[in-house]
Amino acid sequence: MLDPNLTIEERITELIQDEVDQADRRPASAMANLEAFCLALVEPFSTTVNFSGGVTQRCWTVTRPNGDYRVVYMPLAGYFALCVESEIGPLDIGVHGPAFGCFCSV
């Protein structure tokens, strides 16, 4: 269970660390994806994410862009999302769930 006294950045980091610790490392391709994910991780930072209908929400970037994509944490929803880079900033594309799963979706 996560410590309720953690900052949002610490909470996100612990959620991701739990995913990494529990990730399946077989077959070799899974290990390669996990290594790529770990290399893409950044210290979480605040990001405004755009949603359909012109809605925006303060989220937290957790990976550097992987080509045209990045993974963010959506605190109001309590899970991660894959976003595409756009002229107006990160755009939610409806891929939600664990950070590693979102990352592996591209």
The predicted model scores a pTM of 0.93
- Mean pLDDT of all residues in the chain? 94
Q: What is the pLDDT of residues 57-70, one digit of tens each?
A: 999 999 998 789 99
**pLDDT given at position 65:** 86
Q: How many CA atoms lie within 13 A of 64 on its CB side?
A: 6
CA 84 to chain CA mean position, Å: 12
Q: Cis peptide leading into 27, omega within 30 of 0?
A: yes
Q: Is the pLDDT of residue 91 over 90?
A: yes
Q: Where are the domains of the chain?
A: 8-103
> Of all helices (H) and strands (E), which one includes residue 30?
helix 28-40
What is the distance between the alpha carbons of residues 12 and 60, in angstroms, rounded to a whole number? 9
**pLDDT given at position 4:** 84
Please give the backbone phi and psi of residue 36, each rounded to the nearest 5 degrees, phi first: -65, -40
Q: Is the pLDDT of residue 28 over 80?
A: yes
